Amino acid sequence: MEDISKVPHQLDPEKGQCRVIIETPRGSRIKFKFEPASGLFEISKFLPKGFVFPFEFGFVPTTVAEDGDPLDAIVLMDEPAHVGCLLNVRLIGVLELVQTEDGKESPDPRLVGIPVQSSDYAEIRSLSDLNEDLRTQMSEFLELYNKNSSKRDKVTGFGDRRRAVELVEAATRRLQEK
């Protein structure tokens, strides 16, 4: 089976658009993770009962983030997607996140994007265009997400579209150097 993590992300820095592959759809208690060795999506973990993903969670293909995995992305959609769905998204910003594991801190940002076909989010151009409650809920979810594991996540700030594009470009260079 072909490794879908090698699908070109087709970053357009001017438009702030790239491709994202959905690992975990909104409404799921199951966190899926793409495994390049098998070419399949495997169950990574279950969230506690009553706790579900409030947005699509995925990655930007042909990138390597500082943690060694593809760059993570949150996608705000009109309807839930499915595991493995390839989307063209308009980047609107980034949630800057620091992850602590075994006493070691490392950056673990989450890009935020909107599908280019979206009607519900068509007018959203930046994170600041989102309702403040939604931004708070996104941050709180990410900070609670690993609560029952050895990892701790802390949202340290928000970045704009330009920062999101810079992260994709840096993660692309990291892959090329690998």
Closest CA to 94 of 22, 40, 16, 25: 16
Radius of gyration of the chain from Cα atoms? Answer: 15
pLDDT digits (tens, 9 = 90+) for 48-92: 888 999 999 999 999 999 989 999 999 999 999 999 999 999 999
The CA distance from 58 to 74, in Å, is 6
Averaged pLDDT, 135-160: 90
pLDDT(146) > 90: no
Averaged pLDDT, 11-21: 98
pLDDT digits (tens, 9 = 90+) for 32-42: 999 988 999 99
| 129 phi/psi in degrees, rounded to 5 | -75, -15
Residue 148: pLDDT band by 50, 70, 90 thresholds?
confident
Question: What structural domains and CATH numbers belong to the chain?
Answer: 4-177 (3.90.80.10)
| Positive or negative torsion for Cα 115, 53, 41, 44 | positive
The CA distance from 113 to 115, in Å, is 7
The CA distance from 78 to 51, in Å, is 20
